[in-house]
Amino acid sequence: MKIGGIVAEYNPFHNGHRYQIEKSKELGELTHTVAVMSSNYVQRGETAILSKWARAEMAVQNGIDLVIELPTLWSTSYAQRFAEGAVSLLEALGCVEMLSFGSECGNIDELIACKDAINSEEVNEKLKENLEVGLGFASARAEALRSVCGNRFFNILEGANNTLGIEYLNALDKLGSDMIPMTIRRNGASHDSFETSGNFASASEIRRMMKENNREWERYMPESAADIYNRELFDGKAPCLNEKLEFSILCCMRQLTAEAIGKSPDVSEGIEFRIHDAALKARTLDELYALAKTKRYSHARIRRIVLHAFMGFVTDDYKGNPPYIRVLAMNEKGKEILKEAKETATLPIVTKASDFDELDDYGRQVFLLEDMCTDVFSLSSPAILPCGREKTTGIVVVG
Whether 293 has a pLDDT exceeding 90, the answer reads yes
Identify the architecture of domain 3-104+180-240+321-397 in CATH: 3-Layer(aba) Sandwich (3.40)
Domain ranges of the chain: 3-104+180-240+321-397, 108-158, 242-317
Confidence band, pLDDT 50/70/90 cuts, at residue 189? low
Given a contact cutoff of 8 angstroms between Cβ atoms, the answer to whether 232 and 242 are in contact is no
Whether 111 has a pLDDT exceeding 60, the answer reads yes
Whether 240 has a pLDDT exceeding 60, the answer reads yes
Mean pLDDT of 198-220: 96
**Does the bond joining 12 to the residue before it have cis omega, within 30 degrees of 0?**
yes
User: What's the pLDDT at 67?
Assistant: 99
Burial of 389 per CB tally in 10 Å (0-12, 13-18, 19+): middle
Whether 194 has a pLDDT exceeding 70, the answer reads no
User: What's the pLDDT at 139?
Assistant: 86
Mean pLDDT of 355-366: 97
The average confidence (pLDDT) of the chain is 95
Whether 134 has a pLDDT exceeding 90, the answer reads no
Three-point CA angle 21, 378, 87, nearest 5° = 35
User: What's the pLDDT at 312?
Assistant: 98
CA distance 261 to 382: 30
Confidence band, pLDDT 50/70/90 cuts, at residue 152? confident
Q: Break the chain down into helix, strand, coil percent, rounded to 5.
A: 55, 10, 35
Reported as type and span, the H/E element at residue 349 is strand 349-350
Whether 72 has a pLDDT exceeding 90, the answer reads yes
User: What's the pLDDT at 190?
Assistant: 54
Mean pLDDT of 126-145: 87
For residue range 12-55, what is the model confidence (pLDDT) as tens digits?
A: 999 999 999 999 999 999 999 999 999 999 999 999 999 999 99
Whether 195 has a pLDDT exceeding 80, the answer reads no
Q: What is the pTM of this model?
A: 0.96
Confidence band, pLDDT 50/70/90 cuts, at residue 374? very high
303 by DSSP, 3-state: which?
helix
What string of DSSP letters covers 163-181? HHHHHHHHHHHHHT--PEE
